[in-house]
């Protein structure tokens, strides 16, 4: 019988891709999701247990039913802009919800925990390539909530021996090349899906949020990583924990940054269509430049992010976009 892994947020964008990768690696991914932002039809690779992270009794029930070897914790609110307007939503759901989950994992004797953190925990550090030892100074509530969860894991690791791998993601993009699952948020806030909508006429022109940043073309720079490469790292992280190699933090990015204008140029090239856009004001909470130092995951986990180039990420996202799943 395959080993179970509880995947919180398994009905969401990254979680559903993680379920596919776990299934391919021989695990049984058990999706735990309250469907507040996820989609039940994205749960295709293992059982679905509807539930809320704040519901400890429901969590206990699911841990008892599956006796998982690990938790992969993706469920969270993740919009930087919203987190600036409604910080309580982020502290309550992300932090208290995660604390409840971590306590349930410890009580159930689940030994391994893989956590989805973010480069937003580093904040805005000019002209720095951010590695895992960089100081964490988040400038938005989303990043602050994720940093707090990292602290909880460190404390619970020390007190109860909960082994954990923390992944700090840079900008996740693209989709399953077979288009079984893909990116779909409601509302959508991310650059690449919004751009594909503008290209296909499903939305008005894309707005570039700020053209006066201190970057070569004035727009923000981000490090984009393919979602399939990202979830592969999670499977490697799970194996790392199962081999007893101890708790560790890894950045997941490519070390290469692209500006918003460069992403627009690549989208035009990949889709062979014009990208309608207008130039607008800065979005509160946005950092100027976030680029990863990614050597640790490559050298220690043996991670090979070879799909993380803009052409493939935009191409795979475009393939998913054209399936029409997006119009549901
Ligand atoms: N952008 C635009 N117009 C849009 C949407 C985005 O110009 O309509 C710009 C943003 O200002 C930013 C870049 O495109 O410079 C990427 O924006 P996204 O919203 O796609 O991604 P973010 O960088 O804001 O956030 C993402 C994840 C977060 C994570 C963060 C870390 O959504 O969960 O990366 O950088 F924390």
pLDDT of 127 reads 64
Q: How far apart are CA 215 and CA 211, in angstroms?
A: 9
Distance 92 CA to ligand 1 centre (A): 23
pLDDT digits (tens, 9 = 90+) for 4-41: 999 999 999 999 999 999 999 999 999 999 999 999 99
Q: Contact, 146 vs 122, CB < 8 A?
A: no
208 lines ligand 1 (CB under 6 A): yes
Q: What is the pTM of this model?
A: 0.96
Pocket test for ligand 1, best of 14, 170, 190, 220 (most atoms within 8 A of CB): 190
End-to-end CA distance of the chain: 35
Q: In this structure, what token pair is assigned to residue 28?
A: 């049984």
Distances (CA, A) of 16 to 10, 40, 142, 259, 318: 5, 10, 21, 28, 18
Residues of the chain with CATH 3.40.50.720: 3-173+225-252
Q: How far apart are CA 114 and CA 248, in angstroms?
A: 10
Q: In this structure, what token pair is assigned to residue 94?
A: 């992300």
* Per-position b or e across 171-181, b if 16+ CB within 10 A of its CB: bbbbbbeeebb
Distance 7 CA to ligand 1 centre (A): 24
Which residue, judged by its Cα, is nearest atom 6 of ligand 1?
191
| CB neighbour list of residue 224: distance below 8 Å, 6 or more residues apart | 170, 171, 172, 173, 192, 254, 258, 263, 308, 310, 313
Residues of the chain with CATH 3.90.25.10: 191-222+255-327
pLDDT of 294 reads 85
Pick 3-173+225-252's CATH classification: 3.40.50.620, 3.40.50.720, 1.20.1250.20, 3.20.20.80: 3.40.50.720
pLDDT tens for each residue of the chain, 328 residues long:
799 999 999 999 999 999 999 999 999 999 999 999 999 999 999 999 999 999 999 999 999 999 999 999 999 999 988 999 999 999 999 999 999 999 999 999 999 999 999 999 999 887 678 999 999 999 999 999 999 999 999 999 999 999 999 999 999 999 999 999 999 888 889 999 999 999 999 999 999 999 999 999 999 999 999 999 999 999 999 999 999 999 999 999 999 999 999 999 999 999 999 999 999 999 987 889 999 988 999 999 999 999 999 999 999 999 999 987 766 5
Helix (H) or strand (E) holding 7, with range, is strand 4-8
Q: In this structure, what token pair is assigned to residue 179?
A: 């288009």
Q: In this structure, what token pair is assigned to residue 117?
A: 């953190």
Distance 191 CA to ligand 1 centre (A): 6
191 lines ligand 1 (CB under 6 A): yes
Q: Is 142 a catalytic residue?
A: yes
> Does the domain formed by 191-222+255-327 have CATH 3.40.50.300?
no
Distance 27 CA to ligand 1 centre (A): 32
DSSP at 194 = H
pLDDT of 186 reads 87
pLDDT of 327 reads 66
pLDDT of 285 reads 77
Q: How far apart are CA 65 and CA 51, in angstroms?
A: 14
Q: Contact, 295 vs 263, CB < 8 A?
A: no
């Amino acid at each position: 019988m395959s080993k179970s892994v509880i995947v919180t947020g398994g009905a969401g964008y990254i979680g559903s891709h993680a379920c596919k990768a776990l299934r391919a690696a021989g695990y049984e991914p058990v999706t735990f999701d309250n469907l507040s932002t996820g989609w039940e039809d994205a749960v295709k690779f293992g059982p679905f247990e509807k539930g809320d992270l704040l519901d400890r009794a429901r969590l206990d029930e699911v841990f008892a039913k599956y006796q998982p070897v690990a938790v992969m914790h993706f469920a969270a609110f993740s919009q930087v802009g919203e987190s600036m307007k409604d910080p309580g939503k982020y502290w309550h759901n992300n932090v208290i919800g995660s604390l409840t989950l971590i306590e349930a994992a410890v009580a159930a004797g689940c030994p391994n925990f893989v956590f989805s953190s973010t480069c937003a925990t580093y904040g805005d550090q000019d002209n720095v390539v951010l590695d895992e030892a960089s100081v964490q100074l988040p400038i938005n509530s989303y990043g602050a909530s994720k940093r707090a969860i990292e602290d909880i894991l460190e404390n619970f690791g020390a007190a109860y021996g909960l082994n954990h791998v923390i992944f700090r993601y840079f900008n996740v993009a693209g989709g399953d090349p077979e288009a079984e699952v893909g990116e779909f948020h409601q509302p959508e806030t991310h650059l690449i899906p919004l751009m594909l909508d503008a290209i296909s006429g499903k939305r008005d022109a894309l707005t570039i949020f700020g053209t006066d940043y201190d970057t070569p073309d004035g727009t923000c720079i981000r490090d984009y990583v393919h979602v399939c490469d990202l979830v592969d790292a999670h499977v490697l992280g799970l194996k790392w924990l199962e081999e007893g190699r101890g708790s560790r933090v890894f950045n997941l990015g490519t070390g290469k940054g692209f500006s918003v204008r460069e992403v627009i140029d690549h989208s035009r090239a990949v889709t062979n269509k014009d990208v309608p856009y207008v130039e607008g004001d800065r979005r509160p909470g946005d950092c100027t430049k976030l680029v990863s130092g990614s050597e640790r995951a490559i050298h220690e986990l043996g991670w090979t992010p070879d799909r993380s180039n803009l052409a493939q990420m935009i191409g795979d996202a475009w393939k998913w976009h054209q399936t029409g799943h997006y119009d549901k």
